[in-house]
Amino acid sequence: MRAEAAVNGHRLYLGAGLDHRAGYVNVDLDPHVRPDVIFDLNVVPYPVRDESCSEILALHVFEHLHVHSTEWLRECYRILRPHGVMRVAFPNMFGLRTRIRYLMGRVDEGLEWHPYHCKLIHWRYFLRLARHIGFDCALEYGPRVRRLVPGGASLYRVVFGLVVGIYIDDSVVKDGIVDTAAMRPIARLGYMDYAVVTPETVFTIPRPEVDAAGRIVPAKANG
C-alpha cells in the first residue's frame, strides 16, 4: 500500500518503533519493526496530503531526527487538519543521561536513522517555535510515581497540563447555550465510579437565596 493512501485521513504515530498502537497508522523507517507505513522522517515533505491527519503522535522521536526543528514542525503543521491535535514528547535536555546520549549520537552523523540523540532542545524554545509556526501549545509534565509495591520500574505518571482552549461542536449549542446533556459528558461519582450525563439524568438543585436584610431564605423544592 502506498504511504499516501494509507496515511491520509488517519491518526499518525511518527517513529512508532515496536510500540504499535491500535487506531493509529504506525510510521517508521525500520522495516524490521513491521510498521504500517515506511518512510524517512528526516525527508520532507512527507508523502501525506495537506490537512489530512486528525492527530499526530511523536513520542521520543524528535530528538533522533537530523531534520531541522523548524522544518519538522512546519511539515507536521502542513499535514494536520484544522483543530487537529499533535502530541510531542522529548527528554529533559538538562538530564545527565540525555547529555551523554547526545554526545554519543554526534559520533557518526551519516546514519539515516540515528540510534542516539541528535539534538538538545529546551521545552520553552520548542513551545515558542511551535507557536510561531501556528500551533496552540500547552506544556504537559509527567513525572514518574513510585510503585506502591517495591521492585521494578514505575509505570505510573502524574500529568500536569495547561488547557489552551475548548472546542464545542455546533450540534450541542441550542439557542446560543451549550446543551450539556446533548454533549453526553462523563461525570465522576466517586473514586472508581463514573456515569454518562444524558437528558434523562439532568436535574436542578434548589439553591437558597438571600433577602434584602441578608437573611438566608430556604430553597423551594422543585414543582
Among 137, 156, 186, where does a domain finish? 137
Residues 133 and 194 reside in one and the same domain:
no
Q: Which of 107-116, 117-126, 154-163 has the lowest mean pLDDT?
A: 107-116
Give domain status of residue 98, yes or no: yes
Place of cell 545527565: 96
Closest by CA to 118, choosing from 99, 137, 142, is 99
Residues 130 and 180 reside in one and the same domain:
no
Residues 101 and 9 reside in one and the same domain:
yes
Q: Cα–Cα distance between 164 and 24 in angstroms, integer?
A: 24
pLDDT digits (tens, 9 = 90+) for 146-168: 555 556 555 555 555 666 667 78
Is the Cβ–Cβ distance between 43 and 14 less than 8 Å? no
CATH number, domain of 79, equals 3.40.50.150
Query: What is the structure's pLDDT at 32?
Result: 93
Residues 44 and 100 reside in one and the same domain:
yes
Residues 184 and 107 reside in one and the same domain:
no
pTM metric for this prediction: 0.59
Residue 10 — very low, low, confident or very high, per pLDDT cuts 50/70/90?
A: confident
Residues 116 and 20 reside in one and the same domain:
yes
Give domain status of residue 133, yes or no: yes
Among 137, 165, 193, where does a domain finish? 137
pLDDT digits (tens, 9 = 90+) for 161-219: 666 667 788 888 988 888 888 888 888 887 778 888 887 877 777 777 888 887 887 76
Give domain status of residue 8, yes or no: yes
* Owning domain of residue 24: 3-137
Give domain status of residue 216, yes or no: yes
Residues 63 and 128 reside in one and the same domain:
yes
pLDDT digits (tens, 9 = 90+) for 60-98: 898 888 899 999 999 999 999 988 999 998 877 776 766
Count of domains observed in the chain: 2
pLDDT digits (tens, 9 = 90+) for 23-62: 999 999 999 999 999 999 999 999 999 999 999 999 989 8
Query: What is the structure's pLDDT at 108?
Result: 46
Give domain status of residue 75, yes or no: yes
- Per DSSP, which regions of the chain are E strands? 11-14, 24-28, 37-38, 53-59, 80-89, 144-145, 156-157, 173-174, 177-178, 186-188, 194-196, 209-210, 216-217
Query: What is the structure's pLDDT at 158?
Result: 57
Give domain status of residue 142, yes or no: no
Give domain status of residue 152, yes or no: no
Give domain status of residue 166, yes or no: no
Residues 36 and 127 reside in one and the same domain:
yes
